[in-house]
Amino acid sequence: MAFNQQDTECMALALKLSKLGRGSVGANPMVGCVITRDDNIIAQDYHRHYGESHAEVNALDQINHKAHNCNVYVTLEPCSHQGKTPPCVKALINANVSKVFVATLDSNPKVSGSGVRLLRENGIEVEVGLLENAALEVNRGFFKRMKTGLPFVTSKIAMSLDGRIAMKNGQSKWITSDASRNDVQKLRSQNQAILTGSGTVLNDNPMLTVRIQELNSNPLRVVIDSNNQITDKSLNIFSNDSETLILNESNTKILENGKLNLESALETIGSLGINNILLEAGSGLNGAMMDAGLIDEFVIYTAPIILGSDAKPMMQIPLKEMSEKISLKIIELTQVADDIKIRAVPL
């Protein structure tokens, strides 16, 4: 179907609204909803908090659930099952809506097409696919976890122009600018968890918290600790700012080399309802995650400095031949103060 400009603008607004739920909807997807009558917007809202009403119900509340001759634009297929809240499909049917535009189907097996089917069975016209790619991007972590059980992994790296992340003695404060480090705080707030390795914890003693108060986000801190080294409860990783999960042989599969099975570690994290996780680690864990094919995206802050050949590389991956090179696709390139911010995905 060819969607008109009004339809596209309404769904674009619903997508913008959906992003307001980032950091507060937990394991749920971010969803926005817009309701129109005679081409005029009469209600708009989004899923605000985990366990509370979904976007459709919040929008219907604004018009007392009286939606005769109304079009509804929703960024994800309305749920058809009883979860922490009643099914949104039932609310739309009871409100007597005329037509529902759905950006994309829900990959949750409890929904997955049944929401659209129930709407149609009750005489409501449904169109699917309006701005679908944008909707898939908004909830990329949710869709990945539903399909694979694994969260979407973004690796954040701060490096010099010659690809180094720390001096040989471990010094890394500070490679990038204040502006880049503030941008990292925003990046942390967009993820439900922050993943690091025991080496980073012992060497740097990081907090791994969101230090911009108005962002109001406290991601779970997760540490890969293959050798059970994290025992000192006075480390910053155990501060009261957020919860901390230590992954070791007691709760994660171990490989023959004595290292944690990283895919198993991500499965454990995914089982907690974590859709998006930010990897902030040294070259060892970054290299191991990349080698295992577990990094979905890179956000690399590159500073205009040179640290030299003795400094630590971005990743420990001992490639020997040019044919072994790892290719990335740059999807965004911006300047942050004097630094260059690169978003890239593995090919």
Tell me: is residue 172 an annotated ligand-binding position. yes
Distance CA 6, CA 112 (A): 27
- Does residue 88 have a known ligand-binding role? yes
149-346 belongs to which CATH class?
alpha beta
Rg (CA), the chain: 23
Report the 10 Å Cβ neighbour count for 66. Answer: 10
Q: Is 123 annotated as a binding residue?
A: no
Q: What is the DSSP string of 73-117?
A: EESSPPP-S-SSS--HHHHHHHTT-SEEEESS---STTTTTHHHH
CATH 3.40.140.10 describes domain 5-139: yes
The catalytically annotated residue of 52, 56, 249, 297 is 56
What's at 48, amino acid-wise?
A: R
Q: Is the pLDDT of residue 101 over 80?
A: yes
Whether 121 contacts 27, CB under 8 Å: no
Query: Which among 293, 295, 292 is positioned nearest to 195, based on CA atoms?
Result: 295
Task: Quote the pLDDT of residue 80.
Answer: 85
Q: What is the mean pLDDT of the chain?
A: 94
Lowest mean pLDDT among 22-26, 120-124, 324-328: 22-26
Residue 218, pLDDT above cutoff 90: no
- Answer yes or no: is pLDDT of 262 > 80: yes
pLDDT grade for 110, boundaries at 50, 70 and 90: confident
Residue 126: how many other CB atoms lie within 10 Å:
17
Q: Which amino acid, 293?
A: G
CA torsion, ordered 102, 104, 108, 109, to nearest 10 deg: 80
108 is in an annotated binding site: no
Question: Does the pLDDT value for residue 215 go beyond 90?
Answer: no
> Is residue 256 annotated as a catalytic residue, yes or no?
no
Phi and psi at residue 237, to the nearest 5°? -65, -20
pLDDT of residue 257: 85
| Alpha helices for 281-335 (secondary structure H) | 283-291
End-to-end CA distance of the chain: 32
Is residue 104 part of an annotated ligand binding site? Answer: no
All residues at 6 or more sequence positions from 71 whose CB lies less than 8 Å from its CB, including other chains: 10, 35, 36, 37, 97, 98, 99, 100, 101
pLDDT interval class at 217 (50, 70, 90): confident
Domain with CATH 3.40.140.10 in the chain: 5-139
Residue with tokens 């108060």: 213
CB 182 within 8 A of CB 326: no
Confidence tier at 211 by pLDDT (50, 70, 90): confident
- Whether 308 has a binding-site annotation, put simply, is no
Confidence class for position 164, pLDDT limits 50, 70, 90: very high
pTM over 0.85: yes
User: Given this model, what pLDDT does residue 254 score?
Assistant: 87
In the chain, ranges of CATH 3.40.430.10 domains: 149-346
